[in-house]
Chain A
Amino acid sequence: MATQTASLPRTTEGKRAQPVGLIALTVFTALMLLAASYMAFIYAPTEATMGAVQRIFYFHVGAAWAGALAFLVTVVAGVLYLIKGTRKWDIVGLSSVEVGLALITITLASGPVWAQFAWGKPWTWDPKLTASAVMWLSYAAYLMLRQGIEDPTRRARFGAVYGIIAFASVIMVFFGVRFITATIHPVVIGQSASTAEGDFGMTARMLHAMLFSFVTFTFVFATLLWHRIRLERLSDRVDAIKARLLTR
């Protein structure tokens, strides 16, 4: 009896501390974020017609990129889960959706602030905006689907399947909307549509700030993903320990 109770803390003890790599990555990402803020607010020149509000753009686009990357990771994790059936890939898929949702929330929240000045109103029912909002909703639906299913393996399987299907909404936002030439939303990569409003030519410094923001948000995504995966692992372990204690 005494040995059994003693064995419980020991299994958790060794892994309670965060891995050194994660701590290092977190600190590095925090520094990157500071640097990215410097790039966006001081290094990059003020845009001629829109003024200071244009600086939102660096984080808006960076978060959108990282969000799309997160949802892509979910697709890859989903495919790997369906092939291999290991819990690891289910955790990656779920974690990536949650982090991606947070990042897209940044994009959706920062967009209207910019649009208030650039377009004169915070929201228009432009295809690109609508598709982005729907993309957010489809990943919220992913979480609701998981919540509604009791059986863990079925939950994981359905999560993988829906994570793959929902990526259609990401494609719609980033590529499908290009079909629709009437969008007023400017694009960063390639030529904006002739109907785009608030488009601007980027100077070299603006380009630097933007590229730096892309890299920074990639790091933000990686850091958050690692934390979230670790959290899910810990939660799994708590469940396992609980089950062990209850069956004793």
Chain B
Amino acid sequence: MAVEREERLTTQPLVVKPAYRPAGLFRASAAVAWKDLRAELRSKETVSAMFVFALLAIMIFSFALEFDRTGRQASAAGVLWVTLIFAGTLGLGRSLNREKDQGCLDGLLLAPVDRSALYFGKLAGNFIFMMVVAIVLLPLITVLFDVSMFKPLVGVVLLMGILGYAGVGTLISSMSVYARGREVLLPILLLPIALSILIPAVRATRGLLEGVTFDELRVWFNLLAGTNVIYIALAYMLFDFVVEE
């Protein structure tokens, strides 16, 4: 009897049915991004901080550099990007510090999905926050700096530049979050790396504002696209090593 039961037990196929299907990379990334967006929609902490900071930065630039009319127009591209980049570091820092402080990072890492999903989700969140700030800054700079920012190609430069910046920034902020003095460390780590995005982005934007043809600016667009591909591919490959315990 006992032997029979034992046999029956062992011959039963050992299939553990998963309670759910593990989400694909895209769905998992979207879930992380959506989590960040929803938290932001409720608290409005990050974007409002970024926006107020950006506004202050523009004011300080205008005062400190004492622009005349032509100087103001010539520097609009630089002011836009420097403001965006600095405001971006605020958002990038918060994005992961918040997870770490509340212990959520461990929870996210325990989720049975590809860890790249966390990277792409965070990247998407940071990208959207920076784009929102950029979209608000465009009319502001148009009015304050007396130069029209509303050109389709400026939008393309913004998309590409912010994507690359958020791409490499998400990786670096996921490292700085573990370090002592992380708020100080993030810009120090990120800005030198981001320069290869900032330079082509500023040059392309300035060229577009001055009415230079696309053909002459092609080199900057190529550089920007190349940097984006390299940075995001590298970050995708390296992120697993960063969050590994």
- List chain A residues, Cβ under 8 A from B176: 145, 148
Task: Tell me which of B36-44, B72-80, B112-120, B167-175 binds A.
Answer: B167-175
Q: Is the interface of B mostly helix, strand, loop or mixed?
A: helix
Identify which of B193, B219, B238, B241 contacts A138 (C-beta below 8 A).
Answer: B193
Per-residue 0/1 for A59-79: is the Cβ within 8 Å of any B Cβ (1 yes, 0 no)?
000000000000000000000
* Nearest CB of chain A from residue B148's CB, rounded to whole Å: 26
**A8: which B residues are within 8 A, CB to CB?**
none
State whether B192 touches A169 (Cβ < 8 A): yes
User: Are A158 and B171 neighbours in the complex by a CB distance under 8 Å?
Assistant: no
Q: Is the CB of A157 within 8 A of B179?
A: no
Assess whether B217 is interfacial by the CB under 8 Å rule.
no
Whether a CB of chain A sits under 8 angstroms from the CB of B94 is no
Interface centre among B178, B192, B234 (most CB of A within 10 A): B192
Bin chain B's interface residue count.
20 to 34
Q: For B231, what are the chain A residues with a Cβ–Cβ distance below 8 Å?
A: 165, 168
Closest to B185 in A: A148
Say whether, besides A141-B189, A169-B192, A148 and B181 are in contact (CB < 8 Å): yes
A152 at the interface (CB under 8 A from B): no
Contact with B180, one of A131, A137, A148, A161 (Cβ below 8 angstroms): A148
* B230 sits at the interface (CB 8 A): yes
Chain A residues contacting B192 (CB-CB under 8 Å) are 134-135, 137-138, 141, 166, 169
Name the residue of chain B whose CB is nearest to the CB of A151. Answer: B178
A158 in contact with B175 (CB, 8 Å): yes
A157 touches B244 (CB 8 A): yes
B227 close to A (CB within 8 Å): yes
A164 within 8 A of B: yes
Total interface residues on A, using CB and 8 Å? 29
Give B181's nearest chain A residue, CB to CB: A148
Q: Which residues of A contact B62 (CB under 8 A)?
A: none
Bound Cα distance A190, B234 (Å) = 29
A158–B244 Cα gap in the complex (Å)? 11
Contact A179 B219 (CB under 8 A): yes
Q: How far is the CA of A161 from the CA of B171 in the complex (A)?
A: 9
Pick the most buried of B168, B195, B231: most chain A CB atoms within 10 A of its CB. Answer: B195
Q: For window 131-153 of chain A, which residues contact chain B by CB distance below 8 Å? A: 131, 134-135, 137-138, 141, 144-145, 148-151
Cβ of B224 to closest chain A Cβ, rounded Å: 11
